[in-house]
Amino acid sequence: MRMRQRLVIGVALFAWWCPVAPALAQAPSPHNLMPVPASVTFAAGGFAIDAHLGVKFDGYKDARLERAVERLLQRITKLTGVPIVRSGNVPALRITCGRGPSGVQKAVEDERYALRITTGGATLSAPTVYGVLRGLETFVQLIEQEPNGFAVRAVTITDQPRFPWRGLLIDVCRHWMPVEVIKRNLDAMAAVKLNVLHWHLSEDQGFRVESKLFPLLHQKGSDGLYYTQEQVRDVVRYAADRGIRVVPEFDMPAHTLSWLVGYPSLSAGKGPFELARAWGVFDPVLSPIDEKVYAFINRFLGEMTSLFPDAYFHIGGDEVNGNQWNGTPAIVAYKKRHGMATNEDLHVYFNTRVSAMLKARGKIMVGWEEVLHKNLPKNTVVQSWRGQKSLADAATQGFKGILSNGYYLDYIWPATRHYGVDPMGKDAANLPDEAKARILGGEACMWAEWVTPDTIDSRIWPRMAAIAERYWSPATVTDPGDMYRRLDVVSQRLDATGIVHRSNYQPMLERLAANRPTDALRGIVDLVEPVKDYNRGRRVEYTSLSPLNRLVDAARPESDEAREFERLVDALLADPAKSAGRDKVTARLEQWREDAKAVQSVLDSPLLQDAAPLVQNLTAVSALGLRALDALQKKTPLTLTPEETESLAKAIAPVAEVLLMVAPSVKKLVDAAK
């Protein structure tokens, strides 16, 4: 591993025609790969990375593959600091691609690849360009720092994804996300082998794509924040270059206030209409009985489907509360006349007509779970937000499906909770093979009520990498401890893709502190997490115009410090005699007590005025934790005053819409000391 040897990148044949070997749950030697490949076998040796990076292609080659290699080299330079001059004469990485793409990327493509690294170089082979793209991402993850520089270990990898549909939904409607946000997240998605961007483009709060046929959609429905059609095409090309499909979503018949602002005649009820500024399910909905509405949708779909080459087109179809349909006499009479007993029947009628319009344009309809009905074409894809049982039921009925329940990133769950959710859960275990095959995979959802361009990356990453592993890796890869070990490394390496989930943290702290010293503030914010599920906004009224620039916005979804403190406390309580563990816990509690004192100098900042109770709580739990440690060491029972008991309860409760994540671990110490 320490030899100095020229790295030259090119490609040679390596048994890509062989099926992937049976899954290995974990390589015998620790590695930092994420997702874990299907089969990994390390060996002695490897080769070093230096500036002379040569590239050679055998077999099929096109401009996309050449651009992929250039991106690889640029990322290697960012990660290692090694300037690549590409003057090598002997290829160290030889890439063999069996064939080029057959038209637009499909939902199921052959993404297999084989990667072999020896002291003499590396070979990457794959049947298709998609396999090459995935293999290149694995290669860059294999680069590790050695005493004399950077190197890659000798290894044999054969790999393929567990699920063909591995997606991320990005909502750009409730809060606008410029093109550069989408592109940098596409780069990060490619790095962890995701292959679907679900682009949520219309909502009650905004319509985000230029329409030349119906310009009032974006002119009146977007606050001037929308993508031009050329920008849409550019993003689609950018994604395709990375082997990522773009599936657009234009929600209908509900969540359409942004449509009705410009075209009120589409509504089932009376206006006037204006963009929603708050969140929720609103009454306004498209009329399902007006032929002029269907003519409008038909022309609209003709325009939008021309922008998105993917075979799938998402119509939303969720959260029709039925109030306008029930309150409109003409609609009530229509239902009666046509033998429709419920609004669900009317909704099915709407969906079948829209599905036929999409079919006429060579598209397949995708919809949220509410669209599921026996009368829809069986190739309809159902996106499940209700859970694994519902997904399995849809598969039993003959529908393809993808799971989003358990992958809502805006719930601010820890990575391990998402990691434990499997699209092929226990409800699918006993399905026949043909039904199991209809479960295509999953999509994580980044809804945008509580994110801005400054914060969205920190809400997606690095947790999305853990979810990506669930979609790609064998079902046997489930160890949360090892996942977190690798996730820490992957999180740092993702910086090289351009996302700002880590680099934006310090500037946000400086803004909170009004550009004063942030060491103590950082020490406190490192210990908190935003409230979970949809508990934000319970005590503070927000709208889409609210600046999301407070402590809760700077706080990251997972506190690494709190997780490590919990580990130390658990280890100490399991073996109190170990003084080293006690010393580490003591040092942290003393540091937090000092941070709580030092941060007083910046609490007068307008953006931190709601944080004072949090600091008080940290002071209290630090003192209680130290008292508990002392009692444990002396083996004397700890007695709390009523005020101390109350202060501990306050510290565990939300303050300023964040949770002090070390408070439960201090409570463990206190309970043990009692």
- Is pLDDT at 507 greater than 70 in this prediction? yes
- What confidence tens digit (pLDDT) does each residue in 82-114 have? 887 765 556 688 999 999 998 999 999 999 999
The Cα 29–Cα 40 span in angstroms is 10
Contact indicator for 39, 23 with CB cutoff of 8 Å: yes
**DSSP string spanning 311-356?**
SEEEEE------HHHHT-HHHHHHHHHTT--SHHHHHHHHHHHHHH
Task: Write down the catalytic residue from 319, 510, 564, 566.
Answer: 319
SS3 125: strand
Contact (Cβ atoms closer than 8 angstroms) between residue 227 and residue 210: yes
230 is catalytic: no
* Side chain identity at residue 265, one-letter code: S
Give the pairing type, strands 312-316 and 364-368.
parallel
- CB-side neighbour CA atoms (13 Å) of 586: 13
Q: What's the rounded Cα separation, in Å, for the pair 544 and 277?
A: 5
% pLDDT > 70, the chain: 95
The token pair at 649 is 């309860």
User: Is residue 137 a contact partner of residue 35, using CB atoms and an 8 Å limit?
Assistant: no
What pLDDT, on a 0 to 100 scale, did the predictor assign at position 315?
98
Report yes or no: 571 and 565 within 8 Å, Cβ to Cβ.
no
For 384, phi then psi, to 5°, come to: -95, 120
Q: Give the C-alpha separation, 552 to 508, whole Å.
A: 11
User: What is the model's pLDDT at position 148?
Assistant: 85
- β-partners of residue 124 are 95, 115
Cβ(128)–Cβ(98) under 8 Å? yes
| 326: number of Cβ within 10 Å | 13
Q: Quickly list DSSP for 72-88.
A: HHHHHHHHH-PPP----
Three-class SS state of 629: helix
Confidence check: pLDDT of 20 > 80: no
Do 346 and 325 meet the contact criterion of CB atoms below 8 Å apart? yes
The residues that bridge with 94 in the sheet, in sequence order, are: 123
pLDDT per residue as tens digits for the range 597-621: 999 999 999 999 999 999 999 999 9
Sequence-ordered list of residues with C-beta below 8 angstroms from that of 535, at least 6 positions apart, any chain: 654, 657
Per the structure block, which two tokens stand in for 595? Answer: 């941070």
Q: Which of 261, 259, 243 is nearest to 251 (CA)?
A: 259
Average pLDDT for 292-321: 97
pTM, full prediction: 0.94
pLDDT score of 596 more than 80: yes
* Mean pLDDT for the stretch of residues 146-172: 95
Reduced to 3 states (helix: H, G, I; strand: E, B; else coil), residue 247 is: strand
* Residue 25: pLDDT over 50: no
8-state DSSP, 410: G
Cα 494 to Cα 129, 244, 489, distances in angstroms: 23, 17, 9
Q: How far is CA 172 from the centre of its chain?
A: 14
Q: Predicted confidence band at 176 (pLDDT cuts at 50, 70, 90)?
A: very high
Q: What is the reported pLDDT for 24?
A: 33
Count how many residues are written for the chain: 674
In the prediction, which pLDDT does 17 show? 37
Residues 6+ apart with CB under 8 A from 599: 520, 521, 523, 524, 615
Residue 181 in contact with residue 453, Cβ under 8 Å? yes
pLDDT bracket for residue 27 (50, 70, 90): very low
- Distance between start and end Cα atoms, the chain: 53
24-33, 261-270, 420-429, 610-619: which has the minimum mean pLDDT? 24-33
The DSSP bridge partners found for residue 143 are 152
Domains of the chain with CATH codes: 39-159 (3.30.379.10), 165-494 (3.20.20.80), 505-673 (no CATH)
CB 625 within 8 A of CB 590: no
- What was the pLDDT predicted at 54? 76
How far is CA 597 from its chain centroid? 37
Q: Are strands 528-530 and 364-368 parallel, antiparallel or unpaired?
A: unpaired
Residues 589, 594: Cα–Cα separation, whole Å: 9
372, 383 contact by CB (below 8 A):
no
Which CB contacts under 8 angstroms, 24+ apart, belong to 634-637?
Answer: 637/673, 637/674
Q: Is 74 left (phi over 0), alpha (psi -120 to 50) or beta?
A: alpha
pLDDT, mean of residues 240-262: 98
Residue with tokens 């057959």: 102
Q: How far is CA 525 from the centre of its chain?
A: 22
User: Residue 19: its pLDDT value, please?
Assistant: 35
Q: What percent of the chain has pLDDT over 90?
A: 87
Rounded CA-CA distance 314/167 in Å is: 13
Q: Could you tell me the pLDDT band of residue 577, with boundaries at 50, 70 and 90?
A: confident
Question: 342-384 pLDDT, tens per residue?
Answer: 999 999 999 999 999 999 999 999 999 999 999 999 999 999 9
